[in-house]
Chains A and B, each alone.
Chain A
């Protein structure tokens, strides 16, 4: 069974803190994604990665960075958390384009982050 896990389900941080959100997948997927989910806006892509040490900006990368040192792990970093980064963060993974039936993304349970 496909499994994507995220380090925390709930997180409370103070403004200005550095925040790390961790995502791990056990499916040997090349592609990994970070989305944020806000009511009325759906999910929006923050960053994605096609391979180890590779990263691409998504639609809303400002205020975030990512790290992918190992294939199975993709970290989202908030360098200096702000209240407008209070949101639900979802990680996902998928197979690369050249693999059949690769188009499905598998999601983690999400991390609800509150920045005070």
Chain B
């Protein structure tokens, strides 16, 4: 079974600085999707960024980018120019390409932004 591990329960960063959240996963599949979801204190989970495993290029969405290392099964999220609104729980998630479309989530990392 696939597993996703986020080893940092909590992280903090100064406003305007850069922070990297770590995620590792385990799978025997060669093609899959990886995601970072954000859950602000209001609790609505929203997608931050996604990566298709067959694409070598790292995904980028404005201030958010990933470092996808397929061989190492690592998928970290970098947030540049951190803003107060980035404070949230961040979840890394995995999904198979075919078959069951369920997401397998990591434990989450709580990110605090210090003004």
Contacts and interface: CB of A to CB of B under 8 A. Distances in A.
Interface class of chain A by DSSP: strand
A54 interface: no
A58 B105 CA distance: 13
Interface string A41-81: 11111001000000010110000000000000000000000
A107 B38 CA distance: 11
B77 to A, nearest CB: 15
B9 A45 contact: no
Contact of B47 (A33, A90, A104): A104
Interface residues of A, number: 26
B45 interface: yes
Nearest to A56: B100
A90 B42 CA distance: 13
Of A42, A94, A105, most buried by chain B (CB within 10 Å of CB) is: A42
Given A103-B50, A107-B44, A109-B43, A48 B108 contact: no
A44 B43 contact: no
A88 interface: yes
Given A43-B103, A48-B100, 13 more contacts: A40-B107, A42-B4, A42-B106, A92-B45, A94-B101, A103-B33, A103-B50, A106-B47, A107-B37, A107-B44, A107-B45, A109-B43, A110-B45
24 contacts: A31-B101, A33-B103, A43-B103, A43-B105, A44-B105, A45-B102, A45-B103, A48-B102, A56-B100, A58-B102, A88-B43, A90-B45, A92-B103, A97-B101, A103-B50, A103-B101, A104-B50, A105-B47, A106-B47, A107-B37, A107-B45, A107-B46, A109-B44, A110-B45
Interface of A: 31, 33, 35, 40-45, 48, 56, 58-59, 88, 90, 92, 94, 97, 103-110
